[in-house]
A and B are shown apart, each in its own frame.
Chain A
Amino acid sequence: MTVDLRTNYLGMTLAHPIVPSASPITADIDHLLRLEEAGASAVVLPSLFEEQVEHEAMAVHMGLEWAKDSFAEAADGYLPDLDDYNAGPARYLELIRAAKNELKVPVIASLNGTTTGGWALYAKILADEGIDALELNIYLIAADPTLTGDQVEHQYLSLVELVRRTVEVPLAVKVGPFFSSMANMATRLISAGADGLVIFNRFYQPDIDLNQLEVVPNLILSTPAELRLVLRWIAILHGRIVGSLAATTGVAGAEEAAKLVLAGADVTMMASSLLRHGPERLRETVEGLATWLEDKGYQSLEQAKGSVSQAAVADPSAFERANYMRTLMSYSPQW
Chain B
Amino acid sequence: MTPRFHRLNTMTTLFATVDGNEAAARIAHALSEVIAIYPITPASPMGEHSDAWSHLGRTNLWGVVPDVVEMQSEAGAAGAVHGSLQVGALTTTFTSSQGLLLMLPNMYKIAGELTSTVFHIAARTLATHALSIFGDHSDVMGARQTGFAMLASASVQEAQDLALVAHAATLRSRIPFLHFFDGFRTSHEVAKIAAIGDDVLKAMIDEDLIAQHRLRALSPHRPVLRGSAQDPDVFFQAREAINPYYSAVPSIVQAEMDQYAQLTGRGYHLFDYVGHPEAERVVVLMGSGVGATSEAVERLVAKGERVGMVIVRLYRPFDSDAFRAILPATTRAVAVLDRTKEPGAVGEPLYLDVVAALFEGDRPSPHVIGGRYGLSSKEFTPAMASAVLAELDRESPKRHFTVGINDDVTHASLDYSSDGWDEPEEMIRAVFFGLGSDGTVGANRASVKIIGDRTDLHAQGYFVYDSKKSGSRTISHLRFGPQPITSTYLIGPGQATFVACHQFHLLNDVDVLELASPGATFLLNSPYDSTEAWEHLPNWIQRGIVDKALDFWVVDATRIAAEAGLGGRINTVLQTCFFALSKIMPRDEALAAITEEVQRAYGKRGDVVVRRNLEAINSTLDGLQQVAIPAAAVIGVTSPGEFLESRLALAPDFVQRVTGMMLAGKGNLLPVSAMPVDGTFPTGTAQWEKRSIGTEIPFWDPSICIDCARCALVCPHAAIRFKVFDPEALQGAPDGFVSKEASGTEFVGKFLTVQVAPDDCTGCGVCVDVCPARSKEEIRHKAIDMVAKDDQLERERANFDFFLTIPDPPRHEVRLDTVKGSQMIEPLFEFSGACAGCGETPYLKLLSQQFGDRVIVANATGCSSIYGGNLPTTPWTVDETGRGPAWANSLFEDNAEFGLGMRLGLEAMEADARLLVTALLPELGQLGVEILEADQTEELGIADQRQRVESLRKQLAGIEGLLARRLEGVADALVRTSVWIVGGDGWAYDIGFGGLDHVLASGRDINILVLDTEVYSNTGGQASKATPRAAVAKFASGGKSTAKKDLGQIAMAYGNVYVAQVAMGANMTQTVKAFAEAEAHRGVSLILAYSPCIAHGIEMSTQMSHQKEAAASGYWPLFRYDPAFEAQGQPGLRLDSRKPTIRFKDFAEKEGRFAMLARANPERSSELMTSAQKDIDDRWNLYEQLVEVHRTAEYTELEDR
Contacts and interface: CB of A to CB of B under 8 A. Distances in A.
Interface of A: 53-54, 56-88, 91, 213-214
A56 B1019 contact: no
A58 B474 contact: no
B773 to A, nearest CB: 11
Contacts of B55: 83
B437 A80 contact: no
A78 B1020 contact: yes
B437 A67 contact: yes
Please indicate which of the listed interface residues B2, B1155, B1159 has the most CB atoms of chain A within 10 Å of its own CB: B1159
B437 A66 contact: yes
A79 B607 contact: no
B184 A72 contact: yes
B133 A57 contact: no
Nearest to B134: A72
Contacts of A86: 1159-1160, 1162
B604 to A, nearest CB: 6
A327 to B, nearest CB: 38
A119 B530 CA distance: 39
A59 B1154 CA distance: 13
Contacts of B737: none
A70 B465 CA distance: 7
Contacts of A53: 606, 608
A83 B1097 contact: no
Nearest 5 CB-CB pairings of A with B? A70-B436, A57-B606, A87-B606, A74-B1020, A69-B441
Contacts of A70: 435-437, 465, 469, 472, 835
A60 B1033 contact: no
Majority SS at the chain B contact face: mixed
Contacts of A84: 604, 1160
B152 interface: no
A69 B1015 CA distance: 18
B42 to A, nearest CB: 8
Nearest to B1020: A74
A82 B1020 contact: no
A85 B1156 contact: yes
Contacts of A214: 779
Contact of B1094 (A59, A66, A75): A66
A86 B607 CA distance: 11
Contact of A72 (B41, B779, B1017): B41
Majority SS at the chain A contact face: loop
A79 B1160 contact: no
A60 B608 contact: no
Contacts of A63: 1097, 1152, 1156
B1018 A61 contact: no
Contacts of B866: 73
Given A57-B607, A71-B436, A78-B1017, 14 more contacts: A58-B608, A59-B1155, A62-B567, A68-B439, A69-B437, A69-B442, A69-B463, A69-B465, A70-B472, A71-B472, A77-B1021, A80-B51, A80-B1036, A83-B604
Given A80-B1037, A213-B774, A68 B608 contact: no
A60 B1036 CA distance: 18
B609 interface: yes
A73 B1020 contact: yes
B604 A87 contact: yes
Given A69-B474, A70-B469, A75 B188 contact: yes
10 contacts: A57-B606, A59-B1152, A60-B609, A63-B1152, A67-B835, A68-B442, A70-B465, A73-B1018, A75-B45, A75-B441
A57 to B, nearest CB: 3
Interface in B996-1033: 1015, 1017-1021, 1032-1033
B52 interface: yes
Please indicate which of the listed interface residues A71, A86, A214 has the most CB atoms of chain B within 10 Å of its own CB: A71
Contacts of B472: 70-71
B442 A57 contact: no
Contacts of A60: 605-606, 609, 1152, 1156, 1159
B440 interface: yes
B463 A75 contact: yes
A64 B439 CA distance: 11
B1106 interface: no
Interface string B737-775: 000000000000000000000000000000000000010
Interface in B1140-1176: 1152-1153, 1155-1157, 1159-1162
A120 B602 CA distance: 23
A73 B184 CA distance: 10
A80 B608 contact: no
B48 interface: yes
A85 B1160 CA distance: 4
Contact of A71 (B465, B565, B567): B465
Contacts of A56: 606, 1159
A154 B915 CA distance: 94
A79 B1156 contact: yes
B811 interface: no
Interface string B41-71: 1101100100110011000000000000000
B1095 interface: yes
A81 B1 contact: yes
A73 B133 contact: yes
Given A67-B835, A75-B1020, A88-B606, A80 B439 contact: no
A65 B446 CA distance: 14
Given A76-B1020, A79-B1153, A57 B436 contact: no
Given A67-B835, A76-B45, A83 B439 contact: no
B823 to A, nearest CB: 24
B1034 interface: yes
A88 B605 CA distance: 8
A82 B41 contact: no
Given A74-B1021, A75-B463, A79-B1097, A91 B1162 contact: yes
Contact of A69 (B51, B436, B612): B436
A80 B54 CA distance: 13
A67 B1033 contact: no
B569 interface: yes
Given A81-B1, A83-B56, A86-B1160, A57 B605 contact: yes
Contacts of A80: 1, 48, 51-52, 1021, 1032-1034, 1036-1037
Nearest to B2: A83
Contacts of B45: 75-76
Nearest to A72: B465
B835 A82 contact: no
B1020 A77 contact: yes
B1160 A82 contact: yes
Contacts of A88: 606-608
A59 B1036 CA distance: 21
A60 B442 CA distance: 17
B1021 A82 contact: no
A87 B437 contact: no
Contacts of B1015: 78
Contacts of A82: 1032, 1037, 1156-1157, 1160-1161
Contacts of A77: 1020-1021
B151 to A, nearest CB: 26
Nearest to A55: B608
A72 B1018 CA distance: 10
B233 to A, nearest CB: 50
A133 to B, nearest CB: 25
B1162 to A, nearest CB: 7
Contacts of B607: 57, 87-88
Contacts of B44: 73
A80 B1161 CA distance: 14
A65 B443 CA distance: 11
Contacts of B612: 58
Nearest to B444: A69
A30 B835 CA distance: 44
Contacts of B602: 61
A85 B604 contact: yes
A86 B1052 CA distance: 44
